Structure 1
C-alpha cells in the first residue's frame, strides 16, 4: 500500500484553482447551469461553423458570432460574456460577469483563482469549459460537467509553462472513446491531468485512484471533481470514499496494489533529452523524462504488476520505428515472455520532421525563430542517433490472464484452461466508428469465445452490419474480387476466396461449421491435387478469423 504522504488532499496550492471553498463551488455550478453554459447551450449559441472552428483552436469565427449575437439579442449578453471570458480568453468588465454569474460574481471567481484583474477587466486565469457525454438508451450514464485546466496555446501568448495542465484534447477524448466500459471495483487513472478519464471511470467503477507527477494537475483534478460532485455522484465531504488522488511518478504511488482496469494517457511524446536536464525543463503533460519511447515501453512491461487477475489496461502511446524494420517489432519486444494478452493498433505513422513540427507547435515553441530552429535540429539529431525513420501512434490494450479456475468457461472448459493469449498488432489508419470501445470489447469477447469453444460445432450467422461486394471484368463469367465490408466498429474489409465466400453465404444458423465445410469439400473437391484435410483446416482457420473480427457471429450472440 502506498505511503500516506503521497496522497494528495489539498485544495489550495499556488497557481491552481481552489477546491477548499465548497460554498463557492456550489454557487459557480448553479450559475453556469442557469446561464446555459453547457455543451448543447454553447453549441446552439455559436452555431455549427463557429463551434467546429473553435474545436480546431480557431477563435475568430466565435468572436464574430459572439459580437453579432449580443447586438441582435440583448438576452444573449450573459452567455456571451461567459463564453468570451473562458473559451475565447477575452477579458470582460466586472459588471458583465457579475450580471452573468450573480451567485458567485467576480469576487468569488477571484477567490477561487479562476480569474484575475487585468487593467480593471476580468481575465481568465484558467480555462473552464463545458464537457459531457450522452446517456445510454435506458437513460443512465450521461453527464453534464465543467472542466478547468490551464489556458491553451491559442488562448495565451508565449511558450506554455513547463508544468502546464492540459485540458480536453484529441488524445484524451480518443482514450475515452477507446476504453472498454465494464463495471470494476477498483480502477486506476495513471497520469490523470485535469481528470477527464476519472470522470468517465466514476460512472462504471466503484473507486478510482488518480495519479500524477504534477501537484498542479492533481489540484485541477480535485477542483473539477468537487465542482461536478453532484453529476459524478460524489460526496464533497468524503471525496476519498470514491476517489484517491496520489502524487508520484508512474506506478510508484500504487506499488503493491491491484486494479481491475487501468487507463492512461501518459506523457508519451518522444522529446530530445539533454545532459543535466531537470524535470522543471520538461513539459510534464507530455514529456516522460526518458529517452526515446522508453516511457511507453516501461509501462507496457510493468502494468502487469498492478493488474488484478483478468484485469485490463488501455493506453495511448508512441513507438519508434527504426530503418528496415516493421512498426510492430519494437512493441512486440516489450512483451516477450510476459504472458500478457496484448492488442496494439497503429493509427498513424509520421516521419521525424513532421513529428518535430507537431510537438514544437503544440507548446508554442515556433514563435521564436532561433529557438524553433535549435529545437527542430535537436529532434532530428535525437532520432538519427537511434536510426529512427518513423514514429507510430496508436492504441494499446493489455490484459493479465485470469486464474485457471476463473478463466475457463463453456462446454469444453476443462480442456481449454486459461483463454488463449490475444496477441494482435495491426495498422488501421482509415476512419473508424466512435466510440470504438464497445466494439473492441466485443472483439475481445469473441476471441475468448473462440478459445473456449470448438468452432467446428458452432452455428454461425452473418453480422447485421456486414455487406458483400463482387467485382468482375465486363463479360467475365465469375467475379474476380469478392469483399466483405463492416459498416460499424473498426470497419474492416476482408478479401474472400471462392470457398470462403461460399461458406459465408451459407451462414444462416441452420448448419454447423463442420457441416458447411463438409458440403463445400464435397462440392469443390475431387481433383487430383485436392487435399481434403488441408482444405478443411485452412477454411476453418479463415472462418475463425472472420468470427474474431466480427463478420460472423455465433448464433444467439
Structure 2
C-alpha cells in the first residue's frame, strides 16, 4: 500500500526548494539500492564488527574506516553517510542512484568527489530496520548548525523510544515529530499515526523518511496542538523543545521561545485534553529546581484535573554544566566570543530566577475518570530494561490500587521472584547487627526500598497464603504492637511497593 502522506501547507518560514523532495521513482530506486547493499542496522554492524561499531558510537571513526574498506557498496555508504568522507563519483554511482540523489539534495558534488548533503542512517529495533533522514551535525559541518537544523536520532530520542509503552492502539499523535523516528517506532503498534511539527524543514525530512520506509503517516504543520485541534488520540508521544532558559529561539529543534520550563509545562497542561478516555501520553520534559521550592510541587501544579501522572526524574544538572552542554550540542565553542556571550546571558537568567538546577526526565500521563494518582520520584541509577514496559505496568498497578483501595486488607500478596532483600550488618560487641535492610527489584528500572524490621517481617509472610489483615494481626501480636497503628503505618508502604511491582496481588480464582 502506498504511503498516505498529507502534505503540510507551505508557510512563510522557508522556501520549499530549500528542502529535500524525493520523487516516487527515486525513492524506489534508492530503497532497492540500500537493501541490495544491506545498508540496514544489522548490515552495518556485521560489516564493521562490534569493536569498530562501538568505537564509532564513541566518536572514534578510524576503526570503522578500516573495516569498511573491503565492504563494497555497503562500505561506500558507511563512509559517505556515517563517517562523512568524500567518495569518488564512480564509487557512489555504484552504491546508489547518483543522479536522483544529487537532484533530491541527498548528496552534493565537491571538488574531489561526492559528499553527503543529508544524514541518512539505518535505525532499528529488535524486529525492524528503517532509514532516518536528518541534517548533518556540527561535527560534519565544521561549525554551528543553522536555526532550522533537523536533529538526527540522538540520546534524547533514543531515551523516549525506550520509555514509550508499545501496547496496540488505534490512533497515535507524534507531537513535534522532528526527523520522524518516534512515528517509525509507533508504526509497530498504532493503526493510525499523525505527526506534527512547526518546522517546515522537519516535516519535509520526516515526509521523505516515511515515504522511503513505506510507512503511512498523516502530516500536519503548526504550533503545539493547533494542527490537531478538537481531535483526540489513544496515545501521544512528544519530544518537545524542552531546553530551559531565556525566552529565545536559537535552534527550532530545542528552543520553544518560552521562558524557563514553560514549554514542558504547556505540553503537560494541554496534552490530556487531546487524549481519549484512558489514553496515554508520554514525553520528555525539563523542570527548574528553584531555591526554596520542591520540584515535585512545581510539576504537580502543571497538571489538569482528571490526569494520572508519573514524573520520573533521571538527572539534575548544574546550571553551568547545563549551559556548556547545550552550547557544544549546537557546535558552539564555549570559549569563543559568541559562546561566552550566550553563556553569560543564559547564566544571568538562571541567577535572576533563583535556579539552582535543571531536572530532566520522563512524564507519563493518562486521562482518567477516577481519582487521579500523581507520583513524582527520582530514578537516577543506571538500568538496562526499557522504561516503556514499566510505565505500562505502573499504570496497570495504579488502576488495580484504585479499583481495590477498599479491599487491600482482604488481599493476599506475594513477593515476586525478581525481588531480593539486601542486608548490611555492622559488627558490635554483641555480634553482627543489621543496620540497613534494602529491597531490590532486579528487573525493570531496579527499584529499591529501605525497610525496617517490621516491614521486612511482613514481606516475609507475603507468600499468597494469608490476606494482609491476618499477616498484620500476627505481626502485631508477635512484636507487641497495636494492630490498628501497625495497619495504618503499613498501608502506605504496601501501596508504594505495589506501584513499583515489588508486591503483587494474588488472583483469588487462580491463586497466582
TM-score range, shorter chain: over 0.9
Contact 1:186/1:260 (<8 A) preserved: yes
* Cα distance in 1 between the residues matched to 2:114 and 2:16: 21
Structure 1 length-normalised TM: 0.85
Residue 519 of structure 1 pairs with residue 474 of structure 2: yes
Which residue does 2:3 correspond to in 1? none
* Cα distance in 2 between the residues matched to 1:122 and 1:434: 41
Which residue does 2:8 correspond to in 1? 8
| Correspondent of 2:259 among 268, 291, 297 | 291
* Cα distance in 1 between the residues matched to 2:45 and 2:9: 35
| Correspondent of 1:148 among 96, 108, 133 | 133
| Correspondent of 1:467 among 392, 397, 420 | 420
Residue 117 of structure 1 pairs with residue 105 of structure 2: no
Which residue does 1:333 correspond to in 2? 301
Map of 1:59-70 to 2, 5 A cutoff? 59-63=61-65, 65-66=66-67, 69-70=68-69
TM-aligned CA distance change 1:439 to 1:293, over 3 Å: same
Question: Mind listing any 5+ residue stretches in structure 1 that lack a counterpart?
Answer: 1-5, 135-141, 235-242, 275-280, 403-417
Q: Deviations over 1:186-217 (max 9, x none)?
A: 11100000101111112111111100000110
* Cα distance in 1 between the residues matched to 2:412 and 2:166: 28
Which residue does 1:442 correspond to in 2? 393
Which residue does 2:269 correspond to in 1? 301
Which residue does 2:85 correspond to in 1? 90
> Alpha-carbon deviation of 1:44?
2.3
How many residue pairs match? The answer is 495
Contact 1:9/1:245 (<8 A) preserved: no
Q: Deviations over 1:44-71 (max 9, x none)?
A: 22232332232234434423x24xx52x
Question: Mind listing any 5+ residue stretches in structure 2 that lack a counterpart?
Answer: 1-5
Q: Deviations over 1:7-48 (max 9, x none)?
A: 5178x93333323x1222122112112212111221222232
Which residue does 1:269 correspond to in 2? 243
TM-aligned CA distance change 1:531 to 1:366, over 3 Å: same
Q: Deviations over 1:499-555 (max 9, x none)?
A: 211121122211111221122122112xxxx42211122123322221111111112
> Alpha-carbon deviation of 1:325?
2.3
TM-aligned CA distance change 1:507 to 1:532, over 3 Å: closer
TM-aligned CA distance change 1:367 to 1:392, over 3 Å: closer
Q: Name the SS for the 2:469 alignment partner.
A: helix
Map of 1:227-246 to 2, 5 A cutoff? 227-229=212-214, 232=215, 234=216, 243-246=217-220
Which residue does 1:198 correspond to in 2? 183
Q: Name the SS for the 2:17 alignment partner.
A: coil
Q: Deviations over 1:117-153 (max 9, x none)?
A: 111511101000001101xxxxxxx211111100011
Residue 78 of structure 1 pairs with residue 80 of structure 2: no
Structure 2 length-normalised TM: 0.92
Contact 2:87/2:115 (<8 A) preserved: yes
Q: Name the SS for the 2:20 alignment partner.
A: coil
Q: Name the SS for the 1:510 alignment partner.
A: strand
Contact 1:322/1:387 (<8 A) preserved: yes
* Cα distance in 2 between the residues matched to 1:314 and 1:9: 27
Residue 133 of structure 1 pairs with residue 125 of structure 2: yes
Which residue does 1:35 correspond to in 2? 37
> Alpha-carbon deviation of 1:391?
0.8
Contact 1:267/1:285 (<8 A) preserved: yes
Contact 1:57/1:154 (<8 A) preserved: no
Q: Name the SS for the 1:509 alignment partner.
A: strand
